Amino acid sequence: MLTYSRDQLTNLDRCGLCVTRQVRKAIFRLDLWSPQQQRVREFQRRHDVNKRSADARPPRSLPTSTHAARYGLLNAQSIGNKSTSINCIINERQPDVLLLTETWHTGHDDVALRRCVPPGYTHVDVPRPSDGSRQNHGGVAAIVTSRLACRVIAPPREFSTFESVCFSVNGSGQTVVNLLVYRPGSAAVTEAFLRN
């Protein structure tokens, strides 16, 4: 399977590549792409449906001792282009805690991360600081319902072989400590990772 980076795809446009009318029609007919007006209408329709269903849905009550908190885990591989999808997933499935790895964000006030968080939720995160390159494939975050009291737990020291965020959530008299660990899969497991 061929894969292209964003820059490679952008460069194709600069090469004077002209897609024939027949190819464009095939792309539209197969619903691989649609005209801009149609995309805008479809986005608006989905947004209106999601808003109506969210307004009609009764709010979930706090987890009780007989009902455990609902968790989700997503390897986002960049929240920059998926913030709307992540927000919709949270609105539709209503997890109490959604854990995200490979967010590719570099700061606590990242716009894409804030767009992932719907009303009634908050987030805790550990961004991967930028090393000056264009791509930053790390960062972890958790999006937590505001119905649970959330408190960040500071790590005892800095870790170099993995990224993590530790926090506790409290609801219905129960406290659960959560530790989200992300180890980049591009590097082999070493003795240093096992010692951390």
Pick the CATH number of 71-195 from 3.40.50.620, 3.50.30.10, 2.60.120.700, 3.60.10.10: 3.60.10.10
pLDDT tens figures, 9-59:
666 655 555 667 777 777 666 666 666 677 667 767 776 766 665 555 555
Q: Report the pLDDT value the prediction gives residue 151, as an integer from 0 to 100.
A: 94
Strands 163-171 and 97-101: unpaired
- What pLDDT does 153 receive? 93
Rounded Cα distance between 117 and 165, Å, is 17
The 10s digit of each residue's pLDDT in 143-179 is 999 999 999 998 887 777 788 999 999 987 889 999 9
Token duo for residue 90: 């949270």
Residue 150: which residues within 8 A CB-CB, separation 6 or more? 122, 124, 144, 167, 168, 169, 170
Domain boundaries, the chain: 21-58, 71-195
Share of the chain above pLDDT 70, in %: 61
